[in-house]
Structure 1
Amino acid sequence: MPIDIETFESSTENRLQHSRETNADRVMRFLAAHPDQAFTQSEIRDATDINAGSISVVLSRLEERGLVRHKGIYWALGEADDIAAYGSMVQSTRAANDRFGEENMDEWLEHAVDDEDEVTE
């Protein structure tokens, strides 16, 4: 999938070689490129190359976060404030990953607290 020239110019070579764009990132990038339009689920799926079994879940999760809107069979980019917050979070995460490296999920899980392990004072 192509990237925009700003991303190409501002990214490190390491970041471009190891891009791990999520399905949510793909949907958000696609809808952000067309903020004045709404699309069907299948149109978004085809434009983003997301698996047919995954697109519904991705769109539903984005809707729960206010990042996309849904009416009938159509989906569109969410409201400006929610999108700005999402964009800021994505940029911060990418900057941290470029500087410190990406997190290792297995290492993170070793230190995570289980829901059953209540912390008491």
Structure 2
Amino acid sequence: MSIDIDQFDERSPEELAELSNPEHVLRFLYENRDRAWKAKEIASRTPVPENSIHPVLSRLAKQELVRHKAPYWALTDNLDRLRQAYDHHRVTRLFDDCYGEEDRDEWIKASEQAER
């Protein structure tokens, strides 16, 4: 599977090797943005397992990164929104690499202490 040259230039080897299921789906839909696809077809053309494809697509739809008209799925037509989501994801990943991933339980504990 090929990747966009901007992705190649901007990502580290680790990032290129460890794409998440949503990243695989978005990359596939971006590279094929002139078409709409059935979920099963997306799963067969990406490393995303068929039993995971609907939850992934549903989450992406809630984030308005994909469009859905049953039974078809397509990339959002708002490429600025897609670019912003990608930039946010990339910065978050960079911060995780630099400072370590956030611990959800620590955040909850800290917010509870701040409320007191």
TM tier, smaller:
0.7 to 0.9
Cα deviation, 1:23-49, whole Å, max 9, x if unaligned, reads 000000011111111000011001112
Asked whether the equivalents of residues 66 and 79 of structure 1 are also in contact (C-alpha less than 8 Å), the reply is no
Segments of structure 2 that go 5 or more residues without pairing to the other structure are: none
Cα deviation, 1:70-91, whole Å, max 9, x if unaligned, reads 0021000013142122122133
Asked whether the equivalents of residues 45 and 52 of structure 1 are also in contact (C-alpha less than 8 Å), the reply is yes
Identity, in percent, stands at 31
TM-score (norm 1): 0.74
Aligned length: 113
More helix as a share of residues = 2
Query: Match of 1:112, SS?
Result: helix
Partner of 2:47: 49
Q: 2: CA distance between counterparts of 1:48 and 1:60?
A: 16
RMSD: 2.8
Q: Structure 1 residues 5, 97: CA separation in 2 closer, same or farther (over 3 Å shift)?
A: farther
Q: Structure 1 residues 118, 75: CA separation in 2 closer, same or farther (over 3 Å shift)?
A: farther
Partner of 1:111: 106
TM-score (norm 2): 0.76
